[in-house]
Amino acid sequence: MGILVLVGTLFITLIIGMPIAIGIGISSIVYIIVMEEASFLIVPQMVANALDSYNVIAIPFFILAAQIMNRGGVTDRLMNFASRLIGHFKGGLAHVNILTSMLFAGMSGSAVADSAGLGHILIPNMTKKGYDPAYSAAVTAASSTIGPIIPPSVPIVIYGILAEASIGKLFLAGAVPGFVMGIAMIILSAYIAYQKDYPKEAKPTFIEIVKTAISVIPALLTPVIILGGMWGGIFSPTEAAAVAVGYALLQGFAMRDLKLADLWDAVKEATIYSAIIMLIVAFANLFGWILTTEQVPVRFSEWIFTISENKIVILLIINLFLLVLGCVMEILAIMLMTVPVFLPLVVELGLDPVHFGIIMVLNLMIGLLTPPFGLSLYIAQDVAGVSYSRAVRFIIPYIALMLVLLMVITFVPEFVMFLPNLI
């Protein structure tokens, strides 16, 4: 009865269009009122406990660093560098799109931000050069999902908080899969380019490549500083986020691309986005406490083991469940509802919580591309001015590629855990 009240109320709030933060808050409060199994004082206690965490501070810092870099000319320099590097190959602008997302991932960590920010620049340019607008939208949406896999990543930070897993190890765990994911997308785009006879850009001179590379070195050092500092034990993930903000300011003003007005806009945007995420994290703690009180993780594990005790089968069921949810729900909502339920089960199966975190985030990234609620694809097709159905046809090969990578990540732990195990 309690679970029906909790989940039923949550789905009603989501259906009528309430923000996810408000939805999980209302559903949790309704549960407490209806079930009368706890004092109402548990609400402020759980909300305060969730935000009274050192790791939570990393979220607004990483968001602010990304906002500062976006307004400090970093995006333009990264795009120019990617164009000089691989734009002269067949289907060059598609490769530039993907490589820029890979480089941009070290500054943003948000798929939706990548899809919106890079899409407004790259999609019109690709269309002008003769690429099918629907294909341009598909490439942009697909490449945007690399951002939350390659560190730093806001979804990974949130997972680390919910699962009480090492955020530093989670960042390292996403580095290799994110890199392989980007290279695989470039190879797929090259194949499509030869099939469709898409154009290539003019080949730059060696001097042009060197000049562009020099201009982009400060931006490329950002993930090196973040990961290197954590890997070397110089600072924690939260301190790394603060260092990223300081480095973004230093870089922006030193390059004379960042103005005080831009900084103020960055602070405003980061504050709004951070407040939304903090509200979600706060109510998620209350929501997770209710799930634990109702023994949902225990009951779910018992139910799964009635289906099969085979580890491979159980992991396939979990992946399928996450993929289906990704088709109809927002990624943070999925994470908040499923991490407390799935984590005890996967630990019982012998999976490291860090390994499972990358599995979950990649599942959620695929959900950003799949109909009917693939948010990244919606944004990209809107920028391209094409129908959603046409964009879906072009995104299918990229979804298939990501599903193959998902299976590798799920069943070859060394692929994910190689770097984290080194520290």
DSSP string, 141-153: HHHHTTTTTSSS-
Cα gap 99→97, rounded to integer Å: 6
Cα gap 359→376, rounded to integer Å: 19
Cα gap 370→402, rounded to integer Å: 12
Torsion angles phi and psi, residue 356, rounded to 5? -65, -30
Output the pLDDT for position 409. 95
Could you give the residue ranges of the DSSP H alpha helices within 164-236? Answer: 167-196, 206-231
Output the pLDDT for position 180. 94
Secondary structure (H, E, C), 352-383: CHHHHHHHHHHHHHHHCCCCCCCHHHHHHHHH
Are residues 298 and 344 in contact, defined by beta-carbon separation less than 8 angstroms? yes
Which helix (H) or strand (E) element contains residue 158? helix 154-163
Output the pLDDT for position 181. 93
Cα four-point dihedral sign 55, 232, 248, 107 = negative
Output the pLDDT for position 407. 95
Using alpha carbons, list the distances in angstroms from residue 149 to 51, 101, 402.
24, 11, 12
Q: Which two tokens stand for residue 292?
A: 């634990």
Instruction: Count, in order, helices (H) and strands (E) of the chain.
Output: 20, 0
On whether residue 333 sits in a domain, the answer given is yes
43-77: b (≥16 Cβ within 10 Å) or e: beebbeebeeeebbebbbbbbbbbbbbbbbbbbeb
On whether residue 35 sits in a domain, the answer given is no
Which residues lie below 8 Å from residue 148, measured CB to CB, with a gap of 6+?
Answer: 105, 109, 110, 111, 154, 155, 156, 361, 364, 365
Cα gap 229→235, rounded to integer Å: 6
Say whether the peptide bond before residue 372 is cis (omega within 30 degrees of 0): yes
Burial of 239 (0-12, 13-18, 19+ CB in 10 A): middle
On whether residue 23 sits in a domain, the answer given is no
Q: Which two tokens stand for residue 123?
A: 């999609």
Secondary structure letter of residue 56 according to DSSP: G
On whether residue 28 sits in a domain, the answer given is no
Output the pLDDT for position 396. 94
When divided into structural domains, the chain yields a total of 1
On whether residue 34 sits in a domain, the answer given is no
Residue 360 sits in which domain range?
41-422
Cα gap 342→313, rounded to integer Å: 14
Q: Which two tokens stand for residue 235?
A: 């600072």
Output the pLDDT for position 315. 92
On whether residue 390 sits in a domain, the answer given is yes
Per-residue confidence in pLDDT tens, the chain, 423 aa? 777 888 788 888 878 877 777 888 888 888 888 877 667 778 888 888 877 777 788 888 888 887 888 777 777 788 888 888 888 888 888 998 898 888 876 555 555 555 556 677 788 888 888 899 999 999 988 988 888 888 877 888 889 888 888 888 898 899 899 999 999 999 999 999 999 888 888 888 889 888 888 888 888 888 788 878 877 778 887 888 888 889 888 888 887 778 888 889 888 888 888 888 788 778 878 887 887 787 777 787 888 888 888 889 999 999 998 888 877 677 777 887 788 889 888 988 889 999 999 999 999 889 888 876 677 788 888 888 888 888 889 999 999 999 999 999 999 999 999 888 887
Output the pLDDT for position 193. 92
Cα four-point dihedral sign 235, 240, 242, 243 = positive
Q: pTM for the complete prediction?
A: 0.83
Torsion angles phi and psi, residue 39, rounded to 5? -70, 150
Nearest to 367 by CA among 318, 410, 324: 324
Cα gap 162→341, rounded to integer Å: 11
On whether residue 160 sits in a domain, the answer given is yes
Cα gap 216→108, rounded to integer Å: 16
Output the pLDDT for position 191. 93
On whether residue 247 sits in a domain, the answer given is yes
Could you give the residue ranges of the DSSP H alpha helices within 16-110? Answer: 20-35, 42-51, 58-71, 74-86, 92-105
CB atoms within 10 A of CB 306: 8
Output the pLDDT for position 353. 93
Output the pLDDT for position 112. 56
